[in-house]
Amino acid sequence: MSGPADGPRGRRVLRARLSDSGEYVCGHGLPKLEPFQNAAYVGGVAFDCAAQLRAVSLRVTRPRVAVLAAVRAHPHVDTDTVIGLVRADHPAVSHQAVYDVLRALTSAGLVRRIEPAGTTARYESRVGDNHHHVVCRSCGAIADVDCAAGHAPCLTASDGHGFVADEAEVVYWGRCPDCMHSPTSEGSR
């Protein structure tokens, strides 16, 4: 598959292929594309972002690949940072497009939106497991924390009130190692 073709609603759809040398190339004399810029080295696999999009029946577009690559490369990233990362390589991508892509990726289960109390929404690509987060009260740093012990013990509520829990959200708060050793971060959030 190569070259542009007419897509839905008469839009031009860019068709490209992976060459024998592992480069992403376009047909019909179009310029060679880098492997969707940021996606090329995320996780050490050149096109895994595209494959992930296809696996959940999402069309592979530059904005989707760029947003997914940004979230994969920067765990617990906020929307403004994603916009900056995407627009650094793709200046034509609008703020609204990034918001729309984040919403689509979240709905498809490729990214998870977290929003610890008092912070802006953050996105991460670690999905499908029941992990939690620790948040620094001083600098706002966020890190993943695996479930305490056993097979997701926090999913067994003392009284489930008839609900079947499939996810639990636990947020630990404290100070990160950098802030504990920094004399300028005595305050807390």
Whether 60 and 94 map to the same domain: the answer is: yes
> Do residues 136 and 78 make contact, with C-beta atoms less than 8 angstroms apart?
no
Residue 54 lies in a domain: yes
The Cβ of residue 129 has, within 10 Å, a number of other Cβ atoms equal to 11
Residue 74 lies in a domain: yes
pLDDT (0 to 100) of residue 90: 93
Whether 96 and 145 map to the same domain: the answer is: no
Whether 52 and 82 map to the same domain: the answer is: yes
Residue 17 lies in a domain: no
CATH code at position 105: 1.10.10
Is the pLDDT assigned to residue 151 strictly greater than 80? Answer: no
Residue 73 lies in a domain: yes
Residue 164 lies in a domain: yes
Q: Phi and psi (nearest 5°) for 122? A: -125, 155
Whether 110 and 136 map to the same domain: the answer is: no
Annotated binding-site residue? 136: yes
pLDDT (0 to 100) of residue 23: 42
Annotated binding-site residue? 49: no
Query: How many structural domains are present in the chain?
Result: 2
Residue among 75, 63, 44 nearest 145 (CA): 75
CA distances from 76 to 35, 109, 157 (A): 24, 15, 27
Residue 189 lies in a domain: no
Domain boundary among 114, 142, 165: 114
Residue 51's pLDDT band (cuts 50, 70, 90): confident
Is the pLDDT assigned to residue 42 strictly greater than 80? Answer: no
Euclidean distance between CA atoms 158 and 167, whole angstroms: 15
What residues contact 90, with CB distance under 8 A and at least 6 apart? 37, 62, 63, 66
Residue recorded with tokens 């918001």:
99
Euclidean distance between CA atoms 47 and 49, whole angstroms: 5
Whether 47 and 80 map to the same domain: the answer is: yes
Is the pLDDT assigned to residue 44 strictly greater than 50? Answer: no
One-letter amino acid identity for 38? N
Euclidean distance between CA atoms 142 and 61, whole angstroms: 29
Whether 105 and 38 map to the same domain: the answer is: yes
Of 8-17, 41-50, 141-150, 161-170, the poorest mean pLDDT is in 8-17
> Do residues 176 and 122 make contact, with C-beta atoms less than 8 angstroms apart?
no
Q: Tens of pLDDT along 74-124?
A: 989 999 999 999 999 899 999 999 999 999 999 999 999 999 888 899 999
Residue 10 lies in a domain: no
CATH code at position 142: 3.30.1490.190
> Do residues 85 and 68 make contact, with C-beta atoms less than 8 angstroms apart?
no
- In whole angstroms, what separates CA 109 from the centre of its chain? 10
Helices in 123-183 by DSSP H: which ranges? 177-180
Whether 42 and 109 map to the same domain: the answer is: yes
Residue 150 lies in a domain: yes
Token pair of 179, please? 């802030």
Whether 44 and 107 map to the same domain: the answer is: yes
Whether 109 and 173 map to the same domain: the answer is: no
Q: Domain residues for 175?
A: 129-180
